[in-house]
Structure 1
Amino acid sequence: MTGMIYQPQQRDMKLSNAFWPSAFSELRKRGFDTVIIQWTQYGDVFSAGNEKKWLRERLQDAVAADLKLVIGLYADPDSFASLDMPTELLEAYFLKNTEKNIQLARYWKEILPVHSITGWYLPTEIDDRRWRAKSDQRVLAAQVERDVSELKRLTSLPAYITSFFKGHSEVNEYKSMLEQIQQTSGVRLWVQDGVGGQTLLPAETALYLKSLALCNSTPINGLVYEIFRQVGPDSNFKAEPLPPALLSKALAQRAPCGGDTVFFSLRYLINFGH
């Protein structure tokens, strides 16, 4: 897969309908074969009415441009705060998310052409801080496994999830956590390269990525390359596209071990005008 993530936002609804076929056709011309829709419901956003119709039309535009879809499901706007509650209290939270995920997957399976969907994306991102403890990793892995199993009841399509690191776990501990999650759940893991956020020094980032590029022992199925530069704090995220020369260099990257090559995100490749 050579994929581009699109993160739907309400403000995108202000763009003309003609913008989208052009944007997706441009993506196809650049050699991309897949669009990963980061979520198809964000809290209550895109859950009903004109918002849901608008998003459906955008997915149909992508299909019309000969792009495959990996469809993101339910995203909780407060997920990081919610996940900080004691682990033993998380079961009800995860169950609610699973129910929403399955409802969405059923909807898209009925609405879109059967061969246009190549996978499901679980929007919960796995970080290297919250899940450091082995006991917490086992709980998370079991919850991801439930989502994967429920989705498998609907279709035989794979499920994907992303993870990121910020230096909270030692390199081998981080890799071990990913192995635990992958082996328990069967989910396909993509790891973000962290370059856009610039939290770690390049040499530190390289250590994590090198450990995941050992093809006979990697738990991951691909990398997400960030094609932006963060210019604000995490609490008020703001980013800008890479300059053209750096963008071209970034887009030439390919995941190790024949894995999926994914880029984040469409709005940093194509000018949305906002």
Structure 2
Amino acid sequence: MATYTTKFTNKQVRRCCLTAFFLILLTSCKQKVDNHDLGVFYQPLNQDRDISLKQWKEFGEEISDIGIKNVVIQWTQYGNEAFGESHGWLAQRMEALQDDNIKLWVGLYSDPNYFREIHTNATEQKVYLTEYFNKLHKSYVQWKTWLRIHSNKVQGLYLPLELSDYDFKTPAQREQLANILKQQIKLYDEPLMISLYLSGQLPQS
């Protein structure tokens, strides 16, 4: 992993970790991902609103010049914060990246309490995940028009929940999760991506 630093102003420095990320697609996709594609994750913060569109476009040009072709917007809503929704400052900066021929994976709703809530038994996980996915889909509906208008430079959707064997240790939990995901993918037309983490909790077969 390498670190790339670019200077927006004398005081603002943004760092991007350059790494080849693995795309975990939940829906079938004809698109073949180039093994040499580089991508970065971007976590929207309200402090980034002060970075001008001109500076943002310059940043997009810089990362494009060094071979980055994809940016994963980790979320478009974090708890109650929606960053201006699909007509606000975040959407404008996403469009600026697209103008530099960078394709986006658009993250949806993220729950600030996810890691605390998900680490529980199967029964409570089902209740929590049902509520979580309802909020996630609501954020998708809010962005659906934007996604349609900019579809030529959108790779797909990123579901910002991080699935780990630490939280789904039992066969019952994993089967329940698989069934929930099977139902969820029917609600979206776009390819979906999630993050998986293994901590050695699964039994060896």
TM-score interval, normalised by the smaller of the two chains: 0.7 to 0.9
**1:36 lines up with 2:72 in the alignment:** yes
My pick for the range that moved more, 62-71 or 109-118, is: 109-118
Which protein has the bigger strand share? Answer: 2
Q: Which residue of 2 aligns with 1:246?
A: none
Identity %: 26
Q: Which residue of 2 aligns with 1:161?
A: 194
**1:63 lines up with 2:98 in the alignment:** yes
Structure 2 segments unaligned to the other structure (5+ residues)? 1-32
Q: Is the 8 A contact 2:64 2:102 kept in 1?
A: yes
| TM-score normalised by length of structure 1 | 0.55
Q: Which residue of 1 aligns with 2:171?
A: 134
Query: What's the secondary structure of 1:162's corresponding residue?
Result: strand
Q: Which residue of 2 aligns with 1:92?
A: 127
Match for 2:134: what amino acid?
Answer: E
User: Any residues of structure 2 matched to 1:5-154 within 5 Å, and which?
Assistant: 5-46=41-82, 48=84, 53-111=88-146, 112-151=149-188
- Over the aligned positions, Cα root-mean-square deviation in angstroms equals 2.2
Match for 1:45: what amino acid?
Answer: E
Query: What's the secondary structure of 1:4's corresponding residue?
Result: strand
Matched residues in 1 for 2:141 and 2:62: separation?
30
Q: Is the 8 A contact 1:63 1:116 kept in 2?
A: yes
1:52 to partner: Cα distance: 6.4
Deviations 1:47-77 (A, max 9, x none): 547x961111111111111111111111111
| TM-score normalised by length of structure 2 | 0.72
Structure of higher RCO (CA pairs closer than 8 Å, 6+ residues apart): 2
Matched residues in 1 for 2:180 and 2:50: separation?
37
Match for 2:82: what amino acid?
Answer: F
